[in-house]
């Protein structure tokens, strides 16, 4: 790759990374404030039903600062040294736990993104190139219906269908599962999230509109007149940009959907961890999950910016 192609990207990244750091700090402040103001106490999970005297002694023993800024400050100082603390409930260090379940969530969300692409792109491209046909209209309507269905409901339906129609039990519970083709079951939650998360319909609509618009542009007409490859000319603006735009905008929704899918399918991911931690007021875990989720969303945005800058280097100076 030429230097002239990398420089603008580097410029964008430098600026955006600084913003990212600020953003993560902001997220941590907001989440901390919400936790602090919410009723209940993070130590309650340990102190359930104990006398006030015992509770006070425990607090002293654990060395929990009394003020809110004391608590936030200690937490932040540790995080800057790469220590996210230990879960109050399980006593396990937060960071390795997050890494472990984060991978599972990543597999789930990226897998479902890929599936969405595989389904949406052919439909959208076909519609943009050929106009409305009976086939692609039907496919589009089906995609809209699927997207409108709530994820948890669709999840239960799929579980039901697998169990009662196919006589299969589509849930993985850890490495001890010795069912034949166990890995196949991994695809079921990915299928549910990929089709029912709402991304499908939006991707089809957006890609179809953008691609149709670009295909009608003057430069495409010129290319077509010259006999050049229309597809190659239309690819960047008509395909790459709309797809990355929608994908990066949809990551937060996918993460939200992942919480539900993980719950329904017993998938040991970050969503379930967050759900459990929220119920227990497990402060270090909630903060950790929030930061990782924010970083994940931000990474999606950054990738989209990088693609955009590579397509259009002038954008880096804006």
Partner 1 sequence: MKRFLSIALLALATCAAAHAAPKNDGRPDGGLLNYSEFGRTATVDPITSNETISLRITELVFNGLVGIDEKQEIVPELAERWEVSKDGRTFTFFLRKDVKWHPREGEEPRPFTADDVVFTWNIMMNPRTITPLKVRYEFIEKVQKTGDYTVVFTLKRPILNALAKFTFKVIPRHGPANPEYLTREDPFARAPIGTGPYMLKTITGDGEVVLLSNPDYFKGKAHIDKFIAKPFADQNIMAQALMFNAVDMIVLVNPRNLPEVQGDKRFVLQPYNALSYSFFGYNMRNPLLSDRRVREAIAEAINRQEMLNSFFNGQGTLISGPFAPGSWAYNLDVKPLPFNPERARSLLAEAGYKAGADGVMEKDGKKLALSLKVPIEKESEAVKRVVLAFQNYLKSVGIAINVEFKEWQAWKEDVFLEHNFDIMFASWVFDDSADISSLFHSAEIGDWKNNFGGYSNPEVDALIVESKLTLDFEKRRTINRKLHAILAEEQPYAFLWTLTNYSAYHRKVRRVQIHPYKFFSFADEWFIPVSEQK
In the bound state with partner 1, the residue whose beta carbon lies nearer, of 21 and 57, is 57
Q: How far is the CB of 258 from partner 1 (least distance, A)?
A: 13
In the bound state with partner 1, the residue whose beta carbon lies nearer, of 52 and 227, is 52
Q: Figure out which of the listed residues 95, 139, 158, 159 binds partner 1, where binding follows CB under 8 A.
A: 159
* Mask for 91-130, x = binds partner 1 (CB under 8 A): xx-------x------------------------------
| Per CB under 8 A, 46 contacts partner 1 | yes
Of 72-80, 273-281, 285-293, 299-307: span binding partner 1 (CB under 8 A): 273-281
Residues 6+ apart with CB under 8 A from 156: 264
* Mask for 197-226, x = binds partner 1 (CB under 8 A): ------------------------------
* Mask for 220-259, x = binds partner 1 (CB under 8 A): ----------------------------------------
C-alpha distances in Å from residue 277, one per residue of 71, 86, 175, 261: 18, 12, 23, 17
C-alpha distances in Å from residue 225, one per residue of 125, 222, 228, 229: 21, 5, 8, 10
Q: Figure out which of the listed residues 262, 277, 297, 304 binds partner 1, where binding follows CB under 8 A.
A: 262
| Per CB under 8 A, 177 contacts partner 1 | yes
In the bound state with partner 1, the residue whose beta carbon lies nearer, of 45 and 129, is 45
Count residues binding partner 1 (CB under 8 A): 45
Task: Output the 3-class SS for the chain.
Answer: CCHHHHHHHHHHHHHHHHHHHHHHHHHHHHHHHHHHHCCCCCCHHHHCCCCHHHHHHHHHHHCCCCCHHHHHHHHHHHHHCCCCCECCCCCCEHHHHHHHHHHHHHHHHHHHHHHHHHHHHHHHHHHHHHCCCHHHHHHHHHHHHHHHCCHHHHHHHHHHHHHHCCCCCCCCCCCCCCCCCHHHHCHHHHHHHHHHCCHHHHHHHHHHHHHHHHHCCHHHHHHHHHCCCHHHHHHHHHHHHHHHHHHHHHHHHHHHHHHHHHHHHCCCCHHHHHHHHHHHCCHHHHHHHHHHHHHHHHHHHHHHHHHHHHHCHHHHHC
Q: Figure out which of the listed residues 16, 41, 209, 245 binds partner 1, where binding follows CB under 8 A.
A: 41
Q: How far is the CB of 175 from partner 1 (least distance, A)?
A: 6
In the bound state with partner 1, the residue whose beta carbon lies nearer, of 103 and 118, is 103
Q: How far is the CB of 106 from partner 1 (least distance, A)?
A: 15
In the bound state with partner 1, the residue whose beta carbon lies nearer, of 124 and 273, is 273
Nearest partner of 87 among 294, 292, 278, 277, judged by Cα: 277
| Per CB under 8 A, 279 contacts partner 1 | yes
| Per CB under 8 A, 266 contacts partner 1 | yes
In the bound state with partner 1, the residue whose beta carbon lies nearer, of 44 and 212, is 44
- Residues that bind partner 1 in the complex, under the rule CB under 8 A: 39-41, 44-52, 54, 57-58, 60-62, 86-92, 100, 159, 163, 169, 171, 173-177, 179, 262-264, 266, 268, 272, 276, 279, 281
């Amino acid at each position: 790759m030429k230097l002239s192609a990398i420089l603008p990207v580097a410029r964008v990244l430098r600026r955006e990374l600084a913003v990212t750091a600020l953003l993560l700090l902001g997220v941590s402040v907001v989440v901390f404030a919400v936790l602090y103001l919410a009723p209940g106490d993070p130590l309650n999970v340990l102190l359930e039903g104990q006398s006030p005297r015992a509770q006070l002694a425990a607090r002293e023993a654990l060395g929990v600062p009394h003020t809110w800024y004391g608590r936030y400050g200690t937490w932040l100082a540790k995080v800057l040294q790469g220590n996210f603390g230990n879960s109050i409930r399980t006593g396990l260090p937060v960071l390795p736990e997050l890494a472990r379940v984060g991978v599972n969530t990543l597999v789930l969300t990226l897998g479902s993104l890929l599936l969405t692409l595989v389904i949406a792109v052919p439909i959208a491209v076909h519609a943009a190139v050929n106009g409305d046909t009976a086939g692609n209209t039907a496919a589009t309507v089906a995609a809209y219906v699927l997207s409108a269905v709530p994820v948890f409901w669709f999840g239960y339906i799929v579980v039901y269908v697998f169990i009662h129609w196919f006589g299969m039990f589509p849930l993985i519970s850890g490495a001890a599962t010795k069912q034949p083709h166990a890995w196949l079951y991994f695809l079921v939650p990915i299928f549910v999230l990929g089709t029912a998360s709402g991304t499908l319909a939006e991707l089809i609509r957006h890609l179809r509109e953008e691609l149709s618009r670009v295909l009608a542009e003057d430069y495409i007409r010129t290319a077509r007149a010259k006999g050049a490859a229309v597809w190659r000319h239309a690819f960047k603006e008509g395909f790459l940009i709309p797809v990355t735009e929608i994908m990066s905008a949809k990551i937060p929704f996918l993460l939200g959907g992942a919480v539900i899918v993980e719950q329904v399918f017993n998938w040991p991911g970050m969503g379930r961890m967050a759900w459990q931690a929220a119920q227990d007021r497990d402060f270090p875990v909630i903060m950790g999950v929030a930061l990782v989720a924010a970083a994940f969303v931000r990474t999606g945005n950054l990738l989209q910016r990088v693609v955009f800058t590579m397509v259009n280097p002038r954008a880096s100076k804006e």
